[in-house]
Amino acid sequence: MTLTPAEVQPIATTTSGLQGRNSLARLGAWCYDHRRRVLIGWLVGAVVVIALASTIGARFLNDFGGVGQSQQVQNILQERFPTRVGDTAEVVFHSSAPLDSPLVRSRINATLASLRPLHSVTSVSTLTRSPDDRIGFATVQFNAVSDKLPTSDVQRVIDVAGSFAKPGLEVALGGTPISAVVSPSPGSSEGIGILAAIIIMLLAFGSIVAMGLPILTALVGVGVGYGVVALVSHLLIDPTFGPEMMAMVGLGVGIDYALFIVTRYRQGLGEELSPRDAVVRSMSTAGRAVLFAGSTVFISLLGLFLVGQSYLNGLAVGTILTVLTVMAAALTLLPAMLGFSGRAIDRLRVPGLLPAATRDRPRGFWWRWSRTVQRRPWLCGLAALVTLGLLALPLFSMRLAFTDAGNDPTNLTTRQAYDLISSGFGPGFNGPLVLAAELPGGAKDRAVLEAFERRLSAVPGVARVEPPTYNTSGDTAVLIVYPTSSPQATTTSTLVQRLRSTIIPRATAGTDVKILVGGETAAGIDASSHLAQRLPLVIGLVILLSFVLLMSVFRSVLIPLKAAAMNLLSIGAAYGAIVAVYQWGWLSSIFAVSRTGPIDPWIPMMMFTITFGLSMDYEVFLLTRVQEEWLQGRDNSNAVADGIALTGRVITAAAAIMVCVFGSFVIGDPLRVLDVFGLGLAVAILVDATLVRMILVPSIMQILGNANWWFPRWLDRAVPHFNVESGSIPEKTLIAVASNTPQAPTQIPRTSGN
């Protein structure tokens, strides 16, 4: 049954009945009254956490795990080739004179001889020369995989090899151990994002004090969050780019959360509430929305644990801890800071900017915009859907694969080594395949392997095959196969699949020989396939949990369905944008994309969980105001228009801040994965706050009418209640609850459906 405002049933509620539901109001009042303690507590806590993190240090590792056949190869190497179980690096030489000339040859030999006795190095191969004898490389074998190698040992290899470079002889190093140690200089992304947020909030608030409080709260929260994540990195596997990604998310949500609360606080002052009462009201309304939004991000990130990859677990935990820290700062430190500012929050005004909040109901741009959309709901809705569909089209061409060192900044030694090897030998030499062959039949099986080696050399896509190396017992061999294409290329992935599905089975048919394809390149291919298979599961679980959560908040079936569909459209547009820019190369000069490539497989999964959680901020912030207006007796059309009018400016400001923070990583960070991640989040938030919230939501809610609030009685009994904002509860009741003083029974509206 569809409810109308006239059918809302009043129920009596006393102050004591509201105590549990308004714990945030009491928390805000306590933080306001004890603001010095709260401020000192946060400052001391921040100093202690950051000092501990600096003393103990962090342990961020690029350990992306292993799955499938490539992991089986790694296990065989560990058991039967202990000297080859570790990762390898390449020392690449480029000379203006032939490498075989006496002076160049002696210097290269001296370089390799100096590397062999270094700690963690088990062997250094002889030099492999290019056909023109100008480029050569030697392989350095380490005794452990990259995440187990001491950073100082790898750095020592880099320093020793680099010391032999001279004019006319270039020395560069590549490989996973080198990439784990060498990283580009930090970009200016965080500073750019904060500067943009300052400008936007000055325009939104028109006050330096009101602008500064959200920035200060977010910075304190992110600082404490980083210290906590650095300490937790000793317990979990977290990639080296994790801290920057967490700073990106932490700054965005931290400023947004504080922005919502400060906006409600200023509205309270404009309605002639005292500063303390305005804090109570802002915490019981916007504070509850912040708590809900943070919880949604938390729930979304839990979906990453379904993947079964340790580094994704680490990214999820780190991001959850960061979001919880900035949320805690918004709910405790910010009310205390509001206590210090009081009514002075609107002082130090910037001339000519927006006036302070008043009690008048807004009838400005956003109200007129909503009415325009509501007059033509079908036309506006279809136009927005078509636009979103066009933006999302490129996602159907998305190719998931780990990018290689060819995407590194050109000033890094890993990129220089990659380019030199590609120039001298072909791009496939940057990612050789490691084939492990089990030979239980002795000499007979060796003959099979030698025949396979000859056949393998003629396979399209294979550039070179190294002769097999046998273990001491002779029952296992290793072959090194160099593809003709780069590690991230589609043809390399195709070659691996053909070897496994066709070429190897045919070569070993009727024998006991078992040949497996592994190595870092194959491991990346296996991991990409694994993540692609798990992505639908993660998306399905997150949507289901969010659907139930929204049902419990809005007591509606259609609103959660609409929210899930709209969020999928937003993330689809974001996926389309990153494919068009980073995979297809559109606007590559604008986004400084030096080389196109696939999308790292963890990015779509991480983007979905974070975007889905963040987009709920705007969904809840808008719809709670719409619901509040509807419950106060306005018809559905007026409730939607007033809800958008009351939230349009703050949603726009909050979205603009997030877009700028995320977008700053695209222009200010040299790491490609963060560029891709930042652009995806920026596009998702931009689309969500414009096409979705300001066009699709009012048009669809206008078309559905009162059916928006349809909720069967049996479902109302089954789904638990979760109140996000208490905006319909009288102000004096909230203040009494926060003060723990008696209050007469009051009437608050409650919906129930059949």
How high is the pLDDT of residue 197? 77
Residue 93 pairs in a beta bridge with 136, 171
Let me know: does 169 contact 94? Beta carbons within 8 Å: yes
How high is the pLDDT of residue 747? 40
Distance CA 315, CA 506 (A): 42
> Which residues, other chains included, contact 158 with Cβ-Cβ below 8 Å and sequence gap of 6+?
173, 178, 181, 182, 413
> Which residues, other chains included, contact 311 with Cβ-Cβ below 8 Å and sequence gap of 6+?
61, 62, 63, 64, 65, 237, 238, 239, 602
> Which residues, other chains included, contact 79 with Cβ-Cβ below 8 Å and sequence gap of 6+?
none
Give me the chain's average pLDDT, please: 84
Buried-exposed string 577-607: b where 16+ CB fall within 10 A, e elsewhere:
bbbbbbbeeeeeeeeebebebbbbbbbbbbb
Using a 10 angstrom Cβ sphere, with 0-12 exposed, 13-18 middle and 19 or more buried, the burial of residue 405 is buried
Distance CA 249, CA 234 (A): 21
**Percentage of the residues of the chain whose pLDDT score is greater than 90:** 37
Distance CA 497, CA 66 (A): 17
> Which residues, other chains included, contact 1 with Cβ-Cβ below 8 Å and sequence gap of 6+?
710, 712, 713, 753, 754
Using a 10 angstrom Cβ sphere, with 0-12 exposed, 13-18 middle and 19 or more buried, the burial of residue 299 is buried
**Percentage of the residues of the chain whose pLDDT score is greater than 70:** 89
How high is the pLDDT of residue 17? 36
Residue 541 pairs in a beta bridge with none
pLDDT digits (tens, 9 = 90+) for 369-399: 888 999 999 999 999 999 999 999 999 999 9
Which two structure tokens, joined as six digits, stand for 249? 């998310």
At 170, the amino acid letter reads E
**Which residue reads 């994790």 in tokens?**
242
Is a pLDDT exceeding 60 seen at residue 10?
no
At 700, the amino acid letter reads I
Please report which confidence band the pLDDT of residue 348 belongs to, taking 50, 70 and 90 as the band edges.
Answer: low
Pairing between β-strand 9-13 and β-strand 746-750 as defined by DSSP bridges: antiparallel
Q: Say whether 359 sits in a helix, a strand or coil.
A: coil
pLDDT digits (tens, 9 = 90+) for 288-304: 878 888 888 888 888 88
Neighbours of 637 (CB within 10 A): 17
How high is the pLDDT of residue 65? 66
Report how far Cα 37 is from the mean position of its chain's Cα atoms.
35
Is a pLDDT exceeding 50 seen at residue 459?
yes
Mean local confidence (pLDDT), 580-605 = 89
Long-range contacts at 267-274 (CB < 8 A, ≥ 24 apart) = 267/357, 269/343, 269/345, 269/346, 269/356, 269/357, 270/356, 270/357, 270/358, 270/359, 271/357, 271/358, 271/359, 272/359, 273/731
Cα separations in angstroms, 733 against 11, 223, 229: 15, 37, 40
Cα separations in angstroms, 531 against 130, 285, 305, 307: 37, 39, 12, 7
How high is the pLDDT of residue 353? 54
Report how far Cα 520 is from the mean position of its chain's Cα atoms.
24
Is a pLDDT exceeding 70 seen at residue 5?
no
Mean local confidence (pLDDT), 317-331 = 91
Of 464 and 56, more confident? 464
Let me know: does 203 contact 656? Beta carbons within 8 Å: no
Is a pLDDT exceeding 70 seen at residue 112?
yes
Residue 685's closest CA among 298, 225, 367, 255?
255
Q: Say whether 196 sits in a helix, a strand or coil.
A: helix
> Which residues, other chains included, contact 82 with Cβ-Cβ below 8 Å and sequence gap of 6+?
none
pLDDT digits (tens, 9 = 90+) for 146-191: 878 888 999 999 999 999 999 999 999 999 899 888 877 655 666 7
How high is the pLDDT of residue 727? 44
Using a 10 angstrom Cβ sphere, with 0-12 exposed, 13-18 middle and 19 or more buried, the burial of residue 54 is exposed
How high is the pLDDT of residue 172? 96
Please report which confidence band the pLDDT of residue 4 belongs to, taking 50, 70 and 90 as the band edges.
Answer: very low
Is a pLDDT exceeding 90 seen at residue 328?
yes
pLDDT digits (tens, 9 = 90+) for 408-438: 888 899 999 999 999 999 999 999 999 999 9
At 635, the amino acid letter reads D
* Radius of gyration of the chain from its Cα atoms, rounded to whole angstroms: 30
Query: Where are the alpha helices (H) located in 63-175, listed in sequence order?
Result: 68-80, 102-115, 151-162
Distance CA 480, CA 435 (A): 6
Mean local confidence (pLDDT), 577-597 = 89
Distance CA 256, CA 286 (A): 11
How high is the pLDDT of residue 693? 83
Angle formed by the axes of helices 35-56 and 23-33, nearest 10°: 90
Residue 417's closest CA among 93, 86, 87, 62?
93
Q: Is the dihedral of CA 80, 83, 85, 88 positive or negative?
A: negative
Distance CA 535, CA 186 (A): 31
Is a pLDDT exceeding 90 seen at residue 634?
no
pLDDT digits (tens, 9 = 90+) for 245-281: 888 888 888 888 888 898 889 888 888 889 999 999 8
**Which residue reads 């509206």 in tokens?**
749
Please report which confidence band the pLDDT of residue 612 belongs to, taking 50, 70 and 90 as the band edges.
Answer: confident
How high is the pLDDT of residue 548? 85
Is a pLDDT exceeding 80 seen at residue 631?
no
Residue 129 pairs in a beta bridge with 136
Is a pLDDT exceeding 60 seen at residue 83?
yes
Is a pLDDT exceeding 50 seen at residue 285?
yes
What is the CA angle 197-200-203, rounded to 5?
150
Mean local confidence (pLDDT), 678-699 = 89
Please report which confidence band the pLDDT of residue 669 belongs to, taking 50, 70 and 90 as the band edges.
Answer: low
Distance CA 519, CA 538 (A): 28
